[in-house]
Structure 1
Amino acid sequence: MQDRQATATADETANGTAQAAGAVPADLPGIAEVRAAMTAPGQLFEMDEVEIRGVRTRVWKNAPATLRDILEISRAHGDAPYLVYQGDRLSFAEHYARAAAFARLLTGRYGVAKGDRVAIAMRNFPEWSVAFFGAAVAGAVVVPLNAWWTAAELEYGLADSGARVLVADAERAERLAGVLPGLGVRCLVARAGGAVPAGCEEFEAVVGDPGDPAAASLPDVPLDPEDDATIFYTSGTTGRPKGALGTHRNIAGNPVSLAYGMMSAGVRAGGTVEELAAAAQRRVTLLSVPFFHATGCHSVLVTSALQGGTVVLMYKWDVRTALELIERERVTGFGGVPAMAWQVLTSPDFDRYDTSSLTGVSYGGAPAAPALVDKIKERLPERIPGNGYGLTETSSVTTYNAGVNYLERPDSVGPPVAVCDVKVVDPAGRELPPGEVGELLIKGPNVIKGYWNRPEATAEAFRDGWFHSGDLARLDEDGFVYIVDRAKDMLIRGGENIYCAEVEAALYEHPAVADCAVIGVPHEVLGEEVGAVVVPRPGASVSEEELSGFLGERIAAFKVPVRYWFREEGLPRNPGGKILKTRLREELLG
């Protein structure tokens, strides 16, 4: 374990000296100047350079080395609440004791050795975290499976990863009951609520009473930063999901990257790291995304363990329940994908609840419409939003935009954190100058090893330390990143590139639009034309003609949709909140 840990991170730290939202101080120092000051020798965010898979790479000198280090640090938070779920409240000390008990069970009775895979398939229950940290400190590679998957998809994840043990909730265990015997997987059922499927055991009964938290101890399994730690399956829209193989360094460094990203804005506005850290209050995060995605696990669960923050869990996403929890638990931050923030802020119930505890709104995972910034200013005056960019393959955070940086450039996802390099290239791999759109490449200690048992896919996406994201982006002169769209979702109309995110952002500016998605409509001559699926706000109505006229004043005529679909129900999304455009196309276009 390192002597010092970079743990302070919060929207309020980034906003520390930014003050009133909407006011950008004059004569701000440049991003490079801020980075040099924050990463200087002896500073909290000092960097080192190591060789990772043959590539010299900058790393955080003061980051925890492994998930074991993070769990040990979390123990010091004692009786403070770590996980809140309905009537259950699990303190850091209790969580540590339960994770330690599960780790000892794995290495003892179940004979799990370092490198064996342990899978988790359940909703966001507190037991998810117990199983995750327990398996990690036992030396296992943790395999979080998508709880929304069908039995066949879950079976695929278990077989593909070669998991020896599965921790599932009752719903997932029942779904898998018919296939588990053939897989040879030991199954533990959390929150069984009754009889468990044949061959399974009840998680709570097997783990047992962990006893006095002060007496808890972890099994003696040595871990290295480059040891395999996790396999998160990507939410690809075509073909089988790929298992993203991450290391302990990947996931343990992410909280420090998040801290740097948030605090660098405050330093740029005139604060110091020490002042911002001292001013930061303990975070209470309303988790609106699943643990089985990088945002929920890396940036919320693991970061909160390191910081001593509380994570408030929901059975499923619901806007009114979210508002109730914000009021009851004095939540300081929430977000998820931009659409979730938008739903809360535009809810007709918003004014019925006390949201004064909120110090910020953070979001990522999809492009955010600039109109969201205006809505945050309206509903949460003097709170400055933040967003970030990252992927499963980059262990969550790559860039972050907060505080004065966000006020200055709200349509950007921010500059890369100090340990990351980014560049934009054309199809031939030639690096493009600022302002030009191409594929975004990422390099840093957050980039995973590759895809589990997929050497060809790994060789294609990971080259010389650079991850080829598949996202279309541009950089400005100061290194701020602007995500234009996913390459596969870009429309080409008669040879003209149309980026869905641009049209969607313009649609969001219309006061009657609650949610939207832009898809391509086949055309015999042009190849594709623009179509838009629109969900109006409750009680609002809008016509095709009105939207087309509205958009015609904001974007070029060839980008204006030629066809609209209006629907009252929400748009189909994956568990991470991203719109399933493939499903929309199938539903609407056949």
Structure 2
Amino acid sequence: MANLAALLENSVEKFADRTAIVFGDTRLTYAQVDAAANQVANLLVARGIQPGDKVALSCPNLPYFTIVYYGILKAGGTVVPLNVLLKPREVAYHLADSDAKAYFAFEGTPDLPIGENAWEGFEATDTCSEFFLIRMDAKWPAPISPPEYFAPLVAEQPTTFETVEVDDDDTAVILYTSGTTGQPKGAELRHRNMRDNALAGTDLFGADETNPDTYLCVLPLFHSFGQTCIQNGAFAFGGTIVMLPRFEAKAALDLMIANEVSYFAGVPTMYWGLLAALDESVDVKTLAANLRVAAAGGSALPGEIHKQFKERFGVTILEGYGLSETSPVASFSVFGQEPRVGSIGKPIPGVEMKLINDDWSDVEPGPDAVGEIAIKGHNVMKGYYDRPEATAEAIHDGWFRSGDLAKIDDDGFYYIVDRSKDMIIRGGYNVYPREIEEVLMTHPAVSLVAVIGVPNDQHGEEIKAVVVKNAGHDDVTEADLVAWGKEQLAAYKYPRMIQFMDELPMTSTGKILKRELS
């Protein structure tokens, strides 16, 4: 079956009673996850959702995410996962841009009111007609009125469903990724893109359904890394997912020991956190005996973390590389080999990579040759949703241009040397300065602004805005702009640092010289 939901359904056929998801004291078998996903599919069909319709989902790492995700796929819909940190203005943009017809949102907490932000964004969108609020604790007073609640609606639905047949090239998921033009764009990923990337685990690290791995899920499932490499990758081989909604190093270590976790994937800051949390109370010997695979991505992993992790856990961290547009994995370290620090590995099976110039011509090979990474293969997206011009700029003859500059060693290993896109990576999240600048420019005190990334030990990079004020706003402080930005932007996007300047350095053509800012 072409439908990405086959990853779940094939495992149900073979391993119905295996534990699929662990969350706290809750343990769900594959049969239970499948039955719950069928109820979601029946609900969507009852509400008029047709094959190909877009359905948005705002949910942290909870069993609800996986159940709703596969329920949407079973109904023939396209999943539009949204970052749970989005504010109402951002939610409304994503719903409208994706043409979402229905929206599932988890209630969140008083500190992170996902449901409130989702409802406010939904209310501001004309095209989205169905809203379902997922509540974990009915005793917590409902902050919104009058949404429909998820639990009683799905409880009325049958637990069986005939999964909708789709074409391999139909869109399974739309993942939003920001761009240098400011507004986020939706990368359309086909069923075959997502399925083949999940199944790559056999070649990349010896995934085996007869001896399945237990995966710790700390990477956000709304992001391509967690979605493919943890959720879909686990379900492809009948594995078990242990969910942790928010990364906390000590909690992660405790779950790894309690559940005999054999597969961990994270961004560099998570590895840094795990190593820092090791003390006498942690049974490192047991933890290391269980751990089989450690994968990293998002940004380059420092050599010292490689060294310390191998010493403490006995496992070599495998670094990979990819983008939302490539489902995401494009290259990966070679399993069983010592790491080449700074390398993102080699192209995965079924994927080609090469270095290109600005005009798409191939870079002449050589020891010092640097070019932009271009990617071709089963993982490359269909295009950007409803943006033919942006798609044409990004994909040429099946090759996708990544925006990342790299070099290749004699053995074919790739090394990122720079980003040609004006991008900041904060704690594993991609942040595009243009989007932040456009929001800050709407503040009455801001005349001109340049957003840059500055080195940060904890997050890799921190976001800094250099601002020229409008006349008459001398009373606006750095703290005022930080607080305002926090209200307007998701938590990983808003600038924590503000610097006021009388003028910004410019080229003769009026382009801001960001390299002169720090």
Q: TM-score, normalised by structure 1?
A: 0.68
CA contact (8 A) 2:193 2:379 kept: yes
Aligned position for 2:310: 377
Write the distance in 1 (CA, Å) between the matches of 2:23 and 2:178.
Answer: 26
Aligned position for 1:239: 182
CA contact (8 A) 2:375 2:400 kept: yes
Correspondence 1:290-369 to 2 at 5 A: 290-349=220-279, 352-354=282-284, 355-356=287-288, 357-369=290-302
1:278-302 deviation per Cα after TM superposition (whole angstroms, max 9, x unaligned): 9x74211111211111111111111
Flag the 1:136–1:306 CA change in 2: closer, same or farther, 3 A: same
Correspondence 1:401-440 to 2 at 5 A: 401-405=333-337, 407=338, 409-432=340-363, 433-435=365-367, 436-440=369-373
The SS at the match of 1:177 is helix
2:301 maps to a residue whose letter is: A
Gaps (5+ residues) in structure 2? 108-112, 434-451, 460-490, 501-516
Gaps (5+ residues) in structure 1? 2-64, 264-275, 491-499, 505-513, 521-528, 537-577
How far 1:457 moved relative to its partner?
Answer: 1.2
How far 1:348 moved relative to its partner?
Answer: 4.5
CA contact (8 A) 2:42 2:157 kept: no
The SS at the match of 1:189 is strand
Q: Percent identity?
A: 34
| Structure 1 residue 122 corresponds to structure 2 residue 34 | no
CA contact (8 A) 1:262 1:401 kept: no
Correspondence 1:197-212 to 2 at 5 A: 197-208=144-155
Flag the 1:415–1:583 CA change in 2: closer, same or farther, 3 A: same
Aligned position for 2:16: 78
CA contact (8 A) 1:334 1:341 kept: no
2:197 maps to a residue whose letter is: N
Aligned position for 2:480: none
1:250-286 deviation per Cα after TM superposition (whole angstroms, max 9, x unaligned): 10111222322224xxxxxxxxxxxx859x7421111
1:139 maps to a residue whose letter is: G
Q: TM-score, normalised by structure 2?
A: 0.77
Write the distance in 2 (CA, Å) between the matches of 1:173 and 1:408.
Answer: 43
1:185 aligns with one of 115, 122, 129:
129
How far 1:479 moved relative to its partner?
Answer: 2.1
Flag the 1:298–1:534 CA change in 2: closer, same or farther, 3 A: closer
The SS at the match of 2:221 is coil
Aligned position for 2:39: 101
1:457-485 deviation per Cα after TM superposition (whole angstroms, max 9, x unaligned): 11111111110100111122332221223
2:116 aligns with one of 174, 179, 203:
174
Higher relative contact order (CA 8 A, sep 6+): 1
Aligned position for 1:217: 160
CA contact (8 A) 1:104 1:219 kept: no
CA contact (8 A) 2:61 2:218 kept: no
Aligned position for 1:284: 214
1:373-406 deviation per Cα after TM superposition (whole angstroms, max 9, x unaligned): 211122112x22212111100001111104333x
1:78 maps to a residue whose letter is: A
CA contact (8 A) 1:361 1:384 kept: yes
The SS at the match of 2:495 is helix
The SS at the match of 2:197 is helix
1:312-357 deviation per Cα after TM superposition (whole angstroms, max 9, x unaligned): 1112111111111112111112231122112102324376234232
CA contact (8 A) 2:76 2:163 kept: no
CA contact (8 A) 1:285 1:309 kept: yes
How far 1:102 moved relative to its partner?
Answer: 1.1
1:27-49 deviation per Cα after TM superposition (whole angstroms, max 9, x unaligned): xxxxxxxxxxxxxxxxxxxxxxx
Flag the 1:376–1:579 CA change in 2: closer, same or farther, 3 A: farther
Correspondence 1:38-117 to 2 at 5 A: 65-75=2-12, 76-107=14-45, 109-117=46-54
- For the aligned residue pairs, the C-alpha RMSD in angstroms reads 3.2
Aligned position for 2:477: none
CA contact (8 A) 2:40 2:68 kept: yes
The SS at the match of 1:112 is coil
Size of the aligned set, in residue pairs, is 436
Flag the 1:220–1:363 CA change in 2: closer, same or farther, 3 A: closer
CA contact (8 A) 2:78 2:173 kept: yes
1:473 aligns with one of 403, 406, 417:
406
Aligned position for 1:21: none
Write the distance in 2 (CA, Å) between the matches of 1:241 and 1:350.
Answer: 45
Flag the 1:586–1:446 CA change in 2: closer, same or farther, 3 A: farther
2:16 maps to a residue whose letter is: G
1:146-172 deviation per Cα after TM superposition (whole angstroms, max 9, x unaligned): 111111101111111111111101132
Correspondence 1:501-580 to 2 at 5 A: 532-534=455-457
1:133 aligns with one of 45, 49, 70:
70
| Structure 1 residue 449 corresponds to structure 2 residue 396 | no
Flag the 1:98–1:533 CA change in 2: closer, same or farther, 3 A: closer
CA contact (8 A) 1:472 1:487 kept: yes
Q: Runs of 4+ in structure 1 displaced over 6 angstroms?
A: 587-590
Flag the 1:535–1:446 CA change in 2: closer, same or farther, 3 A: closer
